[in-house]
Structure 1
Amino acid sequence: MLSTIVLALLVSLTLYALKIYTQFARNLAAAKKSGIPYVIIPFYQLNRLYQLSQLFVVPIARKLPVSWTEIWFDLTLEWGWARRYEPFKRFGTDTFLTVSPERNQLYTADANVISQITTRKTDFPKPLEVYESIKIYGNNVVTSEGQVWRHHRKITSPPFSEKNNHLVWTETLEQCQAMVNGWFDGNTGKTESKTIYTLADDAMRLSLYVISRAGFGVRLQWPGTGGTHANGHVKNEEENNTSSVGNAQKHTMSYTDALGSLLHNILWVLIVPPFLLKHLPFQRTKESYTAFVEWGKYMNEMFQQKKATVLKGEEGDSMDLMVALVKGAGITKESSTGEKPPAQTLTDEEILGNAFVFILAGHETTANTLHFCLALLATNIAAQRHLQADLDEIFQGRPVNESEYEEVIPKLFASMAGAVLNEELRLLAPVVGVPKSTLKDSPQPLELGGKTCTVPADCYIAIITPAVHRNPNQWPTGPPANPQKPSHPLSNLDNDLEEFKPERWILDPDAKHAASMPDQEADTEASHLGVNTAADTSAALYRPPKGAYIPFSEGYRSCIGRRFAQVEILAVLALIFSLYSVELAVDAYASDEEVGKMNDQEKFEVWSKARDEVNRQMNEDMGAIITLQLRKGAIGLRFVKRGKERFNCNAR
């Protein structure tokens, strides 16, 4: 009996090994035939079992002789952010394949290759299996392809218009002012705020409130701003932020708490099926499940409210996302002739799925960009002063919230404000790897370095954004600020592409005065789908080669809400830096009293320590969980009224 079991086990292992060898031989043959440089690796990076076993595999592999692992090992890990352009330079190519027994994978940092992949949408579709986890409420514009995607895209695009961007502008300014007032404890006469370590959370709240208002028509109150009952008593935040959505008596969490908890625990919700999440005995999983259920209930109530409004013809000219989803799904005003209404073209689940994905995609990415813009400007005082000078020119002493949106937005896009936004997104694009693929049994030709190559069938493609944005073959470069102290230990040691230098985008300092918004490219199909084909950057600023700058992806699948996000971020930069300066907190190195007694050199030394720590955090403590963000610790900043700055260390 035992010998039979052993024999069966040996046969099974032999068959499995034969299967692995056969798959590997097939993949290797395809790579050799492709004409694309390739590296052989033992593990497919995206294999779930390998990802789960990395806790054990990585320490063992690190103990092996370096000569055995140096070529391939890091390519089996999530290396896009950690290594950036270094692997491409090491292999001497901007596009290469990795060959494993399970699947071939193509990595690229080549603008021309990216342009080909993103424009040939049917040849290089999204690998939908990567997006299965975000279908928790229903299929949506992100998790679909082909005709289904076209249908979702056409329905979801109307709210992302210039008319709605005007609302984004005004709502952002109002919420941002409330946020700043909170930093100063509501005392507008104070010259400086306390040290702020909650900027990441505050930016998340700001972004959430803006998308709730401009995307869903839900007005949320910043904590401390209040509101009043009919009897004159001040409402608390929960009352303000629950009563505007659904029936508060049906819920165990406020709308804000439900959404905040859902986003905070998003990994649990995405990875663990709801039926299992409900029964896990941990406090975190219980909170995650409750938030998942509660926010779903809020969205469903909002959907039913909007549906009833549309059926009665009472929505007016409202173009928030939920109204667009209701109307786009074929739900229209009841006919007075008794005519049968058209069939609903989006299911209720698909409507809720789209609502969720827009909150998820539009909230965290914008918040992180705001957070990093402020932190980077605090480390580069010269750039901050340049930004403030441009804002002074644009607004001419007028309050930002009293300026006409149509007049100032093109100028902001074309000024240092636009350059700061572009440079932050170049360095810290929200998505580290943009996924594409080839279909099974469908290899695809690709022009690579002047010759035609072939991307193997069933090949996973990763466009490595940090490498694309730092590729010295397609970006102008200058010398590093300090060759003895490089900005990154591996990538671009001989140039400045790892450094925050928004001035690299400025071509003509006076061009902002006559600037206009980027024009749409002529593309009938794109216009029909509501795809914005205008450039990501102002024509007055540097325009990278097509495919070299992809913070919002590229082509037809580019981010539908990019202009929404750009307007929101520019509004925050304009409001804050027209009135305030942002400084690094030096609390860990000196007290306020000690700083007050320092001379310029001593201030520079203590400020430099704080700058070096922030630079370390933004290299070593960052990580991608859905989007790139600070995974450990917090960056301390202080906001001071202009003219009251303590540090002018690197201002020119």
Structure 2
Amino acid sequence: MLKVFAVTSHPVVFCLWAFCTGFLSLGVWCAINLLYHVRLARSTGLPFVILPFSLLGAPWQLLQSIVVPVVKSLPERLTRSWLPFLLFNEFWHNGYEPFERLKADTFLAVSPGGLILYTCDPDVNVQLFRDANFGKPTELLSILNVYGPTITGADGPESRLYRRVAGPFFSEDTLRRVFAQSAAGAKVLLAALVRPGAYRQLRTLSARLSLNTLNQVAFGHQTDSDLARALAFQDNIPDGKTLSYSQALHGLVEALGTIFLTPRWLLRLSPFRSHRHAAMCYSELGSYIDQLKRARESTLSEKKSAHGTPSSSSSPSSSPSPSQDLLDLLIQAGASSPSTDKKATTTTTAVTPALTDAQVTGQIFLFMFAGHEANANLLAAIILLLACHPPVQATLQRDLDRLLPGDDDWSCDAHHHAALMRSTAGAVVHEALRLFTVLPVLPKRVLPPPPLSPGSDSGDGSWAHITVDGRRHPLPPGTVALVNTSATHRHPKYWPQRRRPATAAAAAAAAGDRGKRDSWSDVTGDPRQRPYAVVDFDPARWTDAIGDGGDDDGGGGGEGSAGAGGGFLRPRAGTFVPFSEGARGCLGRRFALAEACAAVATLFRSHSVELVTGGDRRDGEGEKEEEAWLEARRRAALALSEGTRFTTSLRVGEGVPIRFVPRTK
């Protein structure tokens, strides 16, 4: 007793004693939890790796900025078997390599914080996407719920409700409108891209095109004139606003994590300018969304009054008319959904909103954000990839000349849409999506078993299972599963590198000076260029397929390849998953593919993109010109590898000197 009193009477000694006691208690807690989770992992029968932290745990999120530099200073042999699984922002760069080292495509990561399933096995991917025993980890995806609940941040009946409301919009008629609008917008973008120095804002310009296309088709908002002003960075800022609509949205996307984690009032009072700007973006974008809603509500109310009867499409399950857009469906679902009141007379119905006002606002923001963010990066990546691959660009343009003959403006119809999606244009889009997928991982969660039903054989309370190489493995409820799309899309078994780069000497001997371009040894020999996406870019893998069958958009699905019906590859199920897969996959998948394909066809039908060399030598300097071009390609490849980062989505590096020039036919 006297010893305890002596310790507590000296503040320094007491603090040291408290720290040691707390540290020891934490160590004991971690050891007990780790042993428990190791036992759980062994019970599944899956291979596992032990990690000091959980990738998704708060301790790692708070400490990784301090811990990672220290750990990376250690010899690689001590960390390469486990550190890559804790570096979320490097998942894309690491690709399949960590799985190859472990010699397992599906395994568990065990830590004191719990279990996480990592997989790039196509069969396991399909099970996670399609089996009802696996849902969404909504607490991880709720970062998008800054204005209200969203389809991405919800699961179960709530998510299905949002899909029923929005799903009818993504029809064939909408795809035709998307294709036509994207083609028209790409012409405006082209006028911006030919300006000197436009390459410095390549992704920003692509984002503004994609946002304008989405607004016109989905929300009946903005025009081509608005796009021209946005691409000239002369956005119209209404009275009472500090930011334009696109500035507010893009600013919010950049600060999404800060806005999600920090109370709004604290952001406004923060001494940091970035915090105050984030608060302004949030406030002004919310105001723009509210104005958009109120204007459409007024329009629908006037139409309803003119017809004298409620619109039949106010029910989320009814089909939209061709003139309705996504905003119509969301507003109508938020206004009323008729349901019969059992207590009412036969002539009376009770009207209940299908969606709350916050839910409507949440969906509008979600589609604004997700509907343009991914395609902005995709188009920027395609442009840089084609600049590095002149032969692929030439093949694309020959296809466009064949499918879109004549110099007159071409319109989008079912023939053009289908033909382009199954041509080199569609192949370029799909191959770029394979290499620069929207998200490096797609998360799932093992749902708890259904409760036991008295007197029924259903709901036996057993754990969910996955089947790996023919063996069933139980998974504890609550386990988060991460489908690593980057590793899946670079799995050598399903996506082999069809042309192995030869050595520079051998290639030069076989092809003369051009051998230096074809060997790619200047890129593959540089470890900073991992994962060598530019070298692996091979759209011909999609059009050289032999077999039969095929998807309408080449988006994958069944096993095998498409051949006679257009020769377009159908990836094996689970091997190409940029938009997830199955009934719970991304609603906007075909929207995004049609938009990207139309933009690519428009840009490269009349123009070519080329790398700008250091001395701007375009011809006449022989070997020096070739060396300058190779150096420019190395810089571009580096921007597409080391320069690629993950924030709210995968983003390629900017600032690669390129130029668009008219084609010489």
Shorter-normalised TM range: 0.7 to 0.9
Partner of residue 281, structure 1: 271
Q: Which amino acid aligns with 1:402?
A: W
Q: Mapping of 1:398-477 within 5 angstroms?
A: 398-399=407-408, 401-439=409-447, 443-477=463-497
Tell me what 2:115 maps to: 104
Matched, 1:376 2:385: yes
Tell me if the contact between 2:444 and 2:481 (Cα under 8 Å) persists in the aligned partners: yes
Whether the 8 Å contact between 1:109 and 1:467 is mirrored in structure 2 is yes
1:503 matched to which residue of 2? 540
| Secondary structure of residue in 2 paired with 1:555 | coil
- 1:173 paired residue number: 183
Of 46, 60, 65, 1:55 maps to 65
| 1:215-248 C-alpha deviation (Å, 9 max, x unpaired) | 1110244579579xxxxxxx99544xx6xxxxx4
- Give the Cα–Cα distance (whole angstroms) in 2 for the partners of residues 206 and 456 of structure 1: 45
Instruction: Render the CA deviation track for 1:292-334: whole Å, top value 9, x for unaligned.
Output: 111111111211222232233359853222211012235379x
* Deviation string, structure 1 residues 195-220 (Cα, Å, up to 9, x no partner): 63221111011011111111111024
SS of alignment partner, residue 517 of structure 1? coil
The alignment status of 1:76 with 2:73, answered yes or no, reads no
Q: Is the 8 A contact 1:432 1:466 kept in 2?
A: yes
Match of 1:90 in 2: 101
Q: 1:28 to 1:208 in 2, by over 3 A?
A: same
Partner of 2:642: 620
Distance change (3 Å), C-alpha of 1:129 and 1:505: same
What is the identity, as a one-letter code, of the residue corresponding to 1:295?
Answer: L
- Partner residue of 1:634 out of 649, 655, 661: 655
Equivalent of residue 202 in structure 2, options 199, 204, 228? 199
The 1-side partners of 2:570 and 2:175 are apart by 23
In structure 1, C-alpha distance between the alignment counterparts of 2:638 and 2:407, rounded to whole Å? 38
1:554 deviates by 1.3
1:353 aligns with one of 359, 362, 377: 362
CA distance in 2, matches of 1:425, 1:540: 19
Q: Deviations over 1:382-408 (max 9, x none)?
A: 111110011111012254x43342110
Cα separation, partners in 2 of 1:493 and 1:371, compared to 1, 3 Å: closer
Aligned equivalents of 2:403, 2:428: Cα separation in 1: 16
Query: Over residues 67-114 of structure 1, what are the superposed CA-to-partner deviations in whole Å (9 max), with x where a residue is unaligned?
Result: 443322232222411211111111111111111111111111110110
Alignment check: 8 A CA contact 2:124 2:468 kept: yes
AA aligned opposite 2:371: G
The alpha-carbon distance between structure 1 residues 393 and 34, as it changes in their structure 2 partners (threshold 3 A), is same
| TM superposition shift of 1:11 | 5.1
Q: Report how far residue 362 of structure 1 moved.
A: 1.2
Q: Which residue of 2 aligns with 1:319?
A: 324
Corresponding position of 2:604: 577
SS in 1 for 2:466: strand
Give the superposition deviation at 1:474: 2.2
Residue 608 of structure 1 corresponds to: 630
How do 1:506-545 residues align onto structure 2 when only pairs under 5 Å count?
Answer: 506-507=543-544, 517=552, 540-545=567-572
- The 1:161/1:90 distance shift into structure 2, 3 A limit, reads same
* Comparing 140-149 and 297-306, the one that deviates more: 297-306
> Residue 639 and residue 625 in structure 1: after superposition, are their counterparts in 2 closer, same or farther (change >3 A)?
same
CA contact (8 A) 1:479 1:496 kept: no
Number of aligned positions between the proteins: 600
Pick the aligned partner of 1:331 from 330, 336, 347. 336
Deviation at 1:479, TM superposition (A): 4.2
Shift of 1:450: 2.0
| Aligned 1:238-317 pairs, distance under 5 A | 238-239=235-236, 248-313=238-303, 317=322
Q: Unaligned regions of 5+ residues in structure 2, if any?
A: 9-13, 305-310, 312-320, 339-345, 450-461, 504-520
Contact 1:507 1:540 in 2 (8 A): yes
1:162 and 1:389, CA in 2 relative to 1: closer, same or farther beyond 3 A? same
- The answer on whether the counterparts of 2:143 and 2:257 sit within 8 Å (CA) in structure 1 is no
How far apart are the structure 1 equivalents of 2:121 and 2:233?
53
Question: Which whole-Å CA distance do the structure 1 matches of 2:560 and 2:172 have between them?
Answer: 15
Contact in 2 for aligned 1:552/1:558 (Cα 8 Å): yes
1:16 corresponds, among 6, 21, 26, to 26
> Aligned partners of 2:529, 2:466: CA distance in 1, in Å?
27
- Work out whether 1:546 is the aligned partner of 2:573: yes
Which residue type is aligned with residue 31 of structure 2?
Answer: Y
Are residues 312 and 561 of structure 1, via their aligned partners in 2, closer, same or farther at CA, if it must alter by over 3 Å?
same
Rounded Cα–Cα distance in structure 2 between residues aligned with 1:479 and 1:330 = 57
Quick one: which amino acid aligns to residue 655 of structure 2?
A
Residue matched to 2:510: none
Is it true that 1:3 corresponds to 2:7 in the alignment? yes
CA drift of 1:174 comes to 2.0
Cα separation, 1, equivalents of 2:636 and 2:435: 15
- Secondary structure at the aligned position of 2:659 is classed as strand
Counterpart amino acid of residue 202 in structure 1: L
1:218 is aligned to 221
Tell me the TM-score normalized by structure 2. 0.82
Q: How does 1:223-242 map to 2 (within 5 A)?
A: 225=228, 237-239=234-236
Instruction: Report the residue type matching 2:618 in the other structure.
Output: V
Q: Output the CA distance in 1 between the equivalents of 2:56 and 2:526.
A: 26
Amino acid at match of 1:312: E
Give the superposition deviation at 1:472: 1.6
Contact 2:559–2:571, Cα closer than 8 Å, also in 1: no
Alpha carbons 1:83, 1:491 under 8 Å: kept: no
Indicate the residue corresponding to 2:341 in structure 1.
Answer: none
Q: Deviation at 1:482?
A: 3.8
Identity %: 28
Q: Which moved more, 1:422-431 or 1:6-15?
A: 6-15
Deviations 1:138-165 (A, max 9, x none): 0011111111111111111122222122
- Indicate if the aligned counterparts of 2:426 and 2:597 stay in contact, CA closer than 8 A: yes
Q: Which runs of 5+ in 1 are unaligned?
A: 186-192, 228-234, 243-247, 522-531, 645-652
- AA aligned opposite 2:657: G
Question: The residue matched to 1:196 in structure 2 has which SS?
Answer: helix
State whether residues 185 and 209 of structure 2, in contact with CA within 8 Å, keep that contact through their aligned partners in structure 1. yes
With the length of structure 1 as denominator, give the TM-score of the two structures. Answer: 0.84
1:500-521 CA distance string (max 9 Å, x none): 010111136999xx99835999
SS in 2 for 1:97: strand
Distance 1:270 1:222, change over 3 A: farther
- Asked if structure 2 preserves the Cα contact closer than 8 Å seen for 1:175 and 1:206, the reply is yes
- State the secondary structure of the residue aligned to 1:98: strand
Root mean square deviation, CA, Å: 3.4
Measured after TM superposition, the shift of residue 278 of structure 1 is 1.7
CA change 1:130–1:389 in 2 (3 A) is: same
SS of 1:293's partner is helix
Alpha-carbon distance between aligned partners in 1 of 2:546 and 2:398, rounded to the nearest angstrom: 11
Change (3 A) 1:251 1:63: closer
Moved more, 1-10 or 571-580: 1-10
Tell me the SS of whatever aligns to 2:474: strand
